[in-house]
Structure 1
Amino acid sequence: MLRKLSAIALAVSFLAMATSGLLMFVIEKPSFTIQMHPVHKLFGLVMVVAASIHIWFNFRGLKAHLQNHKAAIFGGVLVVALVLLYAVAINNKLPDDLAQQMDSAAAAAEQKK
């Protein structure tokens, strides 16, 4: 039963993350990003839990995929890209006053529910 529930949660959370992420990508306004923040944040958490359970149930299959050298290299390239993008994002600091304004606006948007 847990396998079925995690598969459904993974599918729905992927749909929520994909649509909210694409909308934020297309509508490049910080105000819209702040509006979508609660949806993206909540379903991001659901997706992490569901994906963890999914990986747990399918770990042998994942290991088998990684035996293919092309698949392993592709996964490695994606991991390197992820680490590099995190490094760029972390080192791209906003001015403190702007960051505080955005944090306050996000907190206010989440409290409006």
Structure 2
Amino acid sequence: MFRKIVAILMFVSFVAMSTSGLLMFVINRTSFTLQMHPVHKVFGLVLVLTALAHITLNFRSLRAHAKARAAAITGAMLVVALVGLYAVAMSNSVPADTAAALDALAQKAEQQMEGQ
């Protein structure tokens, strides 16, 4: 029963994350991103938790899949891409005064949206 619950939670959270992410990508406005932020944030957490449960429940199978050369190479390439993108993102810092102003504006907008 636990596996079934994990599978359904993972599916629904994947749908929520992918649709909210795609909407934020297509409707590239900060105001819309702020609107979608709660959905994306909550279901992102659910997706991470269910993915960890999925990995735990299927670890032997995943390890067996990783032994296939094509799967190992694909996984390695994705890890390199992920690390590279994180490196680029982390080295592209926003100036402290701009970041503080943006954070304050975002917090104010979120508080106003909660008060509606």
Structure 2 unaligned regions, length at least 5: none
Gap change, CA 1:110 and 1:2, over 3 Å in 2: farther
In angstroms, what is the RMSD of aligned CA positions?
A: 1.5
Aligned to 2:89: 89
Structure 1 unaligned regions, length at least 5: none
Give the count of matched residue pairs: 113
Find the aligned partners of 1:110 and 1:43 in 2 and give their Cα distance: 18
Instruction: Provide TM-score, normalisation by structure 1.
Output: 0.90
- AA matched with 2:10: L
Find the aligned partners of 2:11 and 2:83 in 1 and give their Cα distance: 25
Where relative contact order (Cα < 8 A, 6+ residues apart) is larger, the structure is 1
Aligned to 1:48: 48
Aligned to 1:9: 9
- AA matched with 2:3: R
Q: Is 91-100 or 10-19 further displaced after alignment?
A: 91-100
Aligned to 2:34: 34
Find the aligned partners of 1:105 and 1:7 in 2 and give their Cα distance: 38
1:85 Cα shift? 0.4
Q: Write the mapping of 1:65-76 to structure 2, written as runs, cut at 5 A.
A: 65-76=65-76
Instruction: Provide TM-score, normalisation by structure 2.
Output: 0.88
> In 2, are the aligned partners of 1:38 and 1:110 still within 8 Å (CA)?
no
- Structure of greater Rg: 2
- Tell me the percent identity: 59
